[in-house]
Amino acid sequence: MLVIEDEEMLARTLAHGLREEGFEVDVELDGAAGLWRAGESAYDVIVLDLLLPSLSGFRVCERLRAAGHTVPVLVLTAKDGDYDETEALDTGADDYLRKPFAFHVLVARIHALIRRERRQFGAHLACGDLAFDPDRRRCWRGTTPIVLTPREADVLEHLLGRSGQVVAKTDLLDAVWGFDAADPNLAEVYVGYLRKKIDTPFARRSIETVRGRGYRIHDDR
């Protein structure tokens, strides 16, 4: 999760509380820095203040959506005008919470956004001519079916759910194997298995290794 909040004490308090709830949390105190961070890594949710230095939360959200990022955005703000809420939602925010707020309400809203996003991921996922049906666990490239093991399917589903974004190895491990993943090299091993099935036979390189950061799946046609 990414928290973009310029009130440093509040940002630290939020980060601490959310980590206690089991979330991994990154924090940025500046709008432009937050926008850059959001574009560099895959997050389940972004908690975004509106009144930020260098770039307002309105513009951060607007530019994220313009760049094709679908990550859920929960806006936090001390502004209480209806027009501010309308503008936030119109620029792409998914939910809106006014300060001051109860922490348990924030956590409940975050969980609701994550559930909503996961339900959307249950629909047909695709990147170029590579497609995956999460419900039936079936994959194909063009009209050619590709047989995947259950774990390979889990890895592909997570990468396709963040298509075009960098997915850190640690995020992939947590999502597919859980926090108790015994071998940190599992992500690399299974990405290798996937490449041999979805890329190599079709002379493609859709799974890209981003050195020092993780993996990104993209349409390489």
Residue 1 per-residue DSSP state: -
Given this model, what pLDDT does residue 116 score?
Answer: 74
DSSP string spanning 82-124? HHHHHHHHHTT-SEEEESS--HHHHHHHHHHHHHHHHHHHTS-
Q: Average pLDDT by consecutive 10-residue portion of the chain (221 residues)?
A: 94 93 90 91 87 93 84 84 77 88 91 72 76 84 87 91 86 78 80 95 93 89 69
Q: Among 1.10.10.10, 2.40.37.10, 3.90.1580.10, 3.30.1490.190, name the CATH number for the domain at 123-217.
A: 1.10.10.10
CA distance between the termini of the chain: 31
2-120 and 123-217, same CATH topology: no
Sketch the domain layout of the chain as residue ranges: 2-120, 123-217
Contacts 24+ apart (CB under 8 A), 129-133: 129/221, 130/160, 130/198, 130/206, 130/217, 130/219, 132/156, 132/157, 132/160
CATH 3.90.1170.50 at 2-120, yes or no? no
Are 49 and 56 in contact, with CB atoms under 8 Å apart?
no
Backbone angles phi and psi of 208, in degrees to 5 = -105, 135
pLDDT, tens digit (0-9, with 9 covering 90-100), for 1-48: 899 999 999 999 999 999 888 888 999 999 999 999 988 777 889 999
